[in-house]
Amino acid sequence: MSDTSEKEIYDKDFIPNFFPTYRIKRNLYPIPIVIVVVVAGILAYMTYVIAGVQIDGGYIPGGSDPFIGLLNGIIFTATAVISAFVMIYFAKKKGLIVLKFIFGLSFGFLGFFLTLFFADIIAYLIFVSLPLTQLVYDTSIIIRNIMLPIASGIFTLFILYKYITEMTLLMKNFLVIYIGLLTGALLGVIMPLWTTLAILIGISCWDIFAVLYKRGPIKEMIDLASQMNGESPEEEEIQKKIESGEAEYGSDKLEIGIGDLTFYSMLTSSALILSNNLIVMILSSIAIIIGTGITISGLKRNKILPGLPISIFLGIGTMLISWFIISLI
């Protein structure tokens, strides 16, 4: 057996800076997961329970029904599949830079409306706790209807400017975690149980295909990025060395996708809202972190791995089992 120190290390730090991934050292990987889980859970609970905003957000109303929930999950997953293939098509035709504009437009749209939505929820909860006077009412109208949209617009333009012109690692990580947790919190609020399960399972299965299949969109994006950076295309030779134990991929730095953080926080937010029990959410979060750790352990032998399947399936199983047990107590 070859000693690890003598193995040839292949660097995987090839992902372009504008890709929506959270870059972090391997031993610190739980930090972004904990942040999105905690903040998204707080926002979701404030919105659904305290503010009473309860919306059926499925494509087809009645997502609490298993069949309707399955249909919503299929539609959601199909939309993600089509979007991914459209993006990789344009990336091949116009180059990877086109993805920067696609991601930028997505960040702008989501950043504005999600910031405004949750800021309005927070403002509402603040004003509703104050004595109802004319001054409080007028101030509430001005802040919620005028100041918050303007502030959200300015904030969105600022992050878009930073994204397009000078994307530092700090700004990249902030943007990914910010958009990820807000999207996860919203999905946790508006999606019923069966729709949530169908979406998470569907997206996790799609993640396996998109990352591991040779023509999967995510794998193709990474391969395009590798070619752009002049990396060796001799993947078969590298893989043989890794399988024989002569080499391994460097895994000191990790790239956690925005989709991973979004669906982690969606699952835990749903666990909190649906069970109305903090323990269920905490246990689900721990399961997700453990699942991510299991996935990361395979990165020395694999260039990329799907971040959702193990974590999401462990998280769903933990949520359902702990929810059932606690309901019996």
**CB of 123 closer than 8 Å to CB of 140:** yes
Question: Which residues, in sequence order, are bridge partners of residue 248?
Answer: 9
Convert the pLDDT of each residue in 140-193 to its tens digit.
999 999 999 999 999 999 988 888 887 788 888 999 999 999 999 999 999 999
Percent of the chain past pLDDT 70, that is, above it, reads 88
Average pLDDT, the chain: 87
Banded pLDDT at 200 (limits 50, 70, 90):
very high
For residue 254, the Cα-to-chain-centroid distance in whole angstroms is 15
Convert the pLDDT of each residue in 217-229 to its tens digit.
887 887 776 666 5
Percent of the chain past pLDDT 90, that is, above it, reads 60
Q: What does the alpha-carbon distance between residue 171 and residue 131 come to, in Å, rounded to a whole number?
A: 40
Convert the pLDDT of each residue in 306-315 to its tens digit.
999 999 999 9
Q: What does the alpha-carbon distance between residue 290 and residue 284 come to, in Å, rounded to a whole number?
A: 10
pLDDT value, residue 3: 42
Q: What does the alpha-carbon distance between residue 226 and residue 166 come to, in Å, rounded to a whole number?
A: 22
Average pLDDT over residues 24-53: 94
